[in-house]
Amino acid sequence: MKRLRFAPTISPDQGNGPKVVCFSATPMQVAQIARVERIGRDGAGKLIGFQRPQIAAHIREIRDYLVHPDAMLPNAIVLAFADCAKITRDGALIIDISKGAPGWVVDGQQRLMAAQGVPERHFEFIVSAFLCQDLKELNRQFILINNTRPLAKPLIYELLPGIAGLPHRLSDRAGAALLTEALNHRADSSLRGAIHQQTNPEGVLKDTLVQKFLMNSLQHGALRGLTSDNALLDEGYRLVTSFFSAVRNVFKTEWDGHTSKTSRLLHGTGLLAMGYVMDELCIRDHATTRIAFERGLEPLLGQTHWTSGDWEFGTERRPWHSLQNTNADYRLLSHYLVRLVRRRLTAVAVA
């Protein structure tokens, strides 16, 4: 077994969570025990890694600074270990590297990359590592550590599924994030590959807007009451993918080949407004299948202007591209679309 030993170390007495240990190490030593694993997906769509992309310009700036003889970096590199690391009775940290670097760089990846680019200079980092029981606990700690820092929110939101013990404002979004992940990566999803995420930059629908679409329904609409992950990934998934299958078929020319800039159907305004349409059709018309949703969307044909023309909102007329991501425009379009759908439902009920 190949191991590295770090001593002396400092292990502060903190909470009941992961044990924290601090020590010093060169960039080469850090590379032997931890890796920068950027967020991505495996062949089955499972999330792997959790780090943000490198920022080349920032790395160059740090590297230029480190060549100076009086350079210093007082901030610690933060590492995490799910296993293969332990603290001995004499306070040393022992890390098993027989299968490669077992840890992850949680914070300080750019400082580390910059220092590795100055091999002729002996330079030691302050390293702060926390030792977790498993990978799920590691991801949870990563979210909590970075949530107060300027980390891209979509990255945090993509990590949420399956993580417990988070602040209330994040746990509320976890269900929507879990369903968004399924919609974007399941083979039978009508939105497969269409949602822009950190791991899918080619997507055309912003993941935060899809999550808002789902959160609205979870709080007040058709998805309300689906509180378990199993219910969301079964009943909730089938409902939403059926709805978007219908939308893509009914508004094929306004969806295919478009982005949020060329079609307001894929824009935040249209997306959120159509969420209320889905709720209306599901709750009032009991629509759950693609065919039922297509029938419910028929009153919108000829009355929408997703890619050209002007919207006729009663006394107000708006060019198609003037609708913006504002609460006022969300309400304006939502009320207009729901009224059209509701008229058809009322007429059917009367007949």
pTM beyond 0.75: no
pLDDT of the residue at 154 = 60
Helix (H, G, I), strand (E, B) or coil at 313: strand
**Eight-state DSSP code of residue 16:** S
pLDDT of the residue at 18 = 82
Q: Residue 266 is which amino acid?
A: L
Number of H helices, E strands in the chain: 13, 14
Cα separation of 248 and 253, whole Å? 9
Cα separation of 301 and 30, whole Å? 60
pLDDT of the residue at 214 = 94
The pLDDT profile of the chain, 351 residues, written as one tens digit per residue, is: 788 999 999 988 887 778 899 999 998 899 999 987 655 555 556 555 554 555 667 678 888 888 888 888 888 998 988 878 888 988 899 999 998 888 888 888 888 888 887 766 678 899 999 888 777 777 777 766 665 554 555 655 655 565 555 554 555 577 888 899 899 999 999 999 999 987 788 999 999 999 999 999 998 899 998 878 889 999 999 999 999 999 999 999 999 999 999 999 999 999 999 999 999 999 999 999 999 999 999 999 999 999 999 999 988 899 999 999 999 999 999 999 999 999 876 766 555
The answer to whether 47 and 181 are in contact (CB under 8 A) is yes
3-state percent helix, strand, coil for the chain, nearest multiple of 5: 45, 15, 40
pLDDT of the residue at 120 = 64
pLDDT of the residue at 343 = 86
pLDDT of the residue at 304 = 96
pLDDT of the residue at 162 = 57
Cα separation of 96 and 112, whole Å? 21
Kindly list the domain boundaries of the chain, sorted by start residue: 3-146, 153-350
